Structure 1
């Protein structure tokens, strides 16, 4: 499933995985979020509700460009740097390119839509 992210005038595309969690995320769209810096490796934002983690692995090792859901906190996380294995992290999909925009410091306004 193709996802579009409009981030401060730049349009990125992503491909969502074929999973219950990714489909549940897609059901929230369109969605406007403020992406905040976290741990110098990702941008995060709260979601309006928790997502299904049915059938998801216990954790993943995220790579730059991964679109993920951190189940313990119930937030969306977009990685702009590779990171170590994290329990509770569920991959929703990946950016098709343009991860550099996520490296801008400070909050970013983003709209997600199919």
Structure 2
């Protein structure tokens, strides 16, 4: 029995092909996988540091990929290559519907 309803399983690849903006190559347990279409989102947040009243900027990188396209992906072990640059997978959030939301480390 799958934990994902069948309706949602089919939506992930269609969603990624319609809105995908990068091709991602995952390295899972040391083995490079075929490229998959994914959605990369980058946003910046600015806040004031309390001690110095100086602006501090943080950048968040979030990659969304169909859950069926990255089986066995593990946080803190695996990586992804986007446009020739490799980034560590630091967190994986499974929405239990169609997509995995993957937090990446590094500067994209």
Q: Which category of TM-score, normalised to the shorter sequence, fits these structures?
A: 0.3 to 0.5
Pick the structure with more helix per residue: 2
TM-score, normalization by structure 2: 0.32
Pick the structure with more strand per residue: 2
- State the structure with bigger RCO (CA 8 A, min sep 6), 1 or 2: 1
TM-score, normalization by structure 1: 0.31
